[in-house]
Amino acid sequence: MHLTVLGLLAGALTTFSFLPQVWRTIRTRSARDLSWVWIVMMSVGIGAWLAYGILGDDLPVIVANGITLLLVATLGVLKASQEKISTAS
């Protein structure tokens, strides 16, 4: 049981470390400094961890990586939409 709590705590800290970046990107309306290579590599890596957690029935890994994937995908959507807007201008 204690190991699960440690996993949930570690997952929460690393997952929610993305919130300041998402919030800053939304607030400043600028994702220009975010690298597409980073977004893609991070998404694939997080997706692999999520699959690992699902296959291993590991709740902390599933929860942390599911939420993190949503946050990184949000950054990708913001970057894509801002690039589309600046291309149209």
Domain-embedded: residue 66: yes
Using a pLDDT cut of 70, give the percent of the chain over it.
Answer: 98
Is 74 part of a structural domain of the chain?
Answer: yes
89 in any annotated domain: no
pLDDT in tens, 29-63: 999 999 999 999 999 999 999 999 999 999 889 99
Report pTM. 0.86
Q: What pLDDT, on the 0 to 100 scale, is given for residue 58?
A: 92
Question: Is 38 within the bounds of a domain?
Answer: yes
In a domain, 29, yes or no: yes
Based on the structure, what is the number of domains in the chain? 1
Asked if residue 59 is part of any domain, the answer here is yes
Residue 69 lies in a domain: yes
DSSP labels, 2-17: HHHHHHHHHHHHHHHT
What is the DSSP code string of 9-58? HHHHHHHHTTHHHHHHHHHHT--TTS-HHHHHHHHHHHHHHHHHHHHTT-
Domain that holds residue 19: 2-84
